[in-house]
Amino acid sequence: MTNLYWKHFTCLTGVFLLFHSTSGLAQNDGALSDEPCALELTVDNSVDWRGLYGRGYEVFSEEESFETVTISVRHQGAACQFVLTASPLSSGGVNALSGPGDPLYYDVLKTTSGPSFLSTDFQGTATSRIEGKFGTGNSAQGATLYVSIPSNQIVRGGTYSGQVMVRLFRADSGIQDLVAEAPLAILAPVASVLKIRSDDFPQGIRETSIDLGDLSRATRAAVDFNIMSNADVAVTFQSANRGKLAHEAGAPGISYNLAFKGENIDLSTSASSSRLNYAHGRMERAVPLEIVVPQPSGLPAAGQYNDTLTVTFTAE
């Protein structure tokens, strides 16, 4: 009986992103004034998406999280009403951040359960607008909104960004007059993540032993890897005996061949490599690693033969 020992390792690369948001209004009374209504808008300059654990947006996480951002409206003078609206500044008005891969969709919500504060309508809609009013005098109102990036979006690792334009209108007699605009930048780093699973490796164990059986005749075995990644993956192979099964007592070894996803791997060098390229919208793929021992030219010495092969997966 012959054992061939295998090891594999995974590599996770983390990326951070930051973020902020706003909603809800509160009023402060100020001194009375006979001046015309004057309004001023203040918005957080940017939101950096940190995610639930501070590691940025994680493509394989099922959990929802939010970043908050604050908006404030200052008022002086006569009593008046106001309206706040927001629109995404992207092609077609889509709520999407752009980066090295597919669009990363987001939303800006009035509460964590909605509705959305964003609208492609310049003056907003009945559900998206935030409305308020001021009495005569000096006062201010503030809102806290919630930026959401829904889970289960498989995009390539990297930094994603976009911008929202927040608008303040004075509302008199049903007419909205634009008073001010302020941009809100959204930055969302996405970590390059790699997960590897194989039924040939017990859960949590990174080593396994493969029995190649009787080496006096041609034999074959395979290890199937299930790979999940949102990045290109580099794979390297290192054989302790440079592609040979070494005899336990020093008799001549037996050469074997290795193929990864159908490609022959040269084990005679110190390290050989292969590559898995990230596919658009594809998060999981099965990849076989095949071990082939050719028919020997003569009768091998009796005994046990071994090699240790280290396979290293790295997300790039």
Q: What is the rounded average pLDDT of the residues 12-21?
A: 25
CATH of domain 194-315: 2.60.40.1090
Residue 111: what pLDDT?
96
Tokens 């077609």 correspond to 92
pLDDT at 23 over 70: no
Domain with CATH 2.60.40.2040 in the chain: 22-190
Q: Which helix (H) or strand (E) holds 305?
A: strand 305-306
pLDDT at 19 over 90: no
Residue 52: what pLDDT?
86
pLDDT at 12 over 80: no
pLDDT at 266 over 70: yes
pLDDT at 18 over 50: no
Residue 153: what pLDDT?
92
What's domain 22-190's superfamily in CATH?
A: CFA/I fimbrial subunit E, pilin domain (2.60.40.2040)
What is the C-alpha to C-alpha distance for residues 163 and 34, in angstroms, rounded to an integer? Answer: 38
Instruction: Please state, for a pLDDT cut of 70, what percent of the chain lies above it.
Output: 89
Helix, strand, coil share of the chain (percent; to 5): 0, 50, 50
Beta strands 254-255 and 244-247, pairing class: antiparallel
Q: Which helix (H) or strand (E) holds 160?
A: strand 158-172
Q: What is the rounded average pLDDT of the residues 64-89?
A: 96
Domain with CATH 2.60.40.1090 in the chain: 194-315
pLDDT at 77 over 60: yes
Q: What is the rounded average pLDDT of the residues 38-64?
A: 92
Q: Give pLDDT tens digits for 175-198.
A: 899 999 999 999 999 988 899 999
Residue 33: what pLDDT?
53
Full-model pTM: 0.77
pLDDT at 83 over 60: yes
What is the C-alpha to C-alpha distance for residues 30 and 141, in angstroms, rounded to an integer? Answer: 12
pLDDT grade for 53, boundaries at 50, 70 and 90: confident
Q: Determine if residue 203 is left, alpha or beta; phi over 0 gives left, psi from -120 to 50 gives alpha, anything else beta.
A: beta
Q: What is the rounded average pLDDT of the residues 213-230?
A: 93
Q: What is the rounded average pLDDT of the residues 6-14?
A: 32
pLDDT at 104 over 70: yes
> In this predicted structure, which of 16-20, 254-258, 269-273 has the lowest mean pLDDT?
16-20
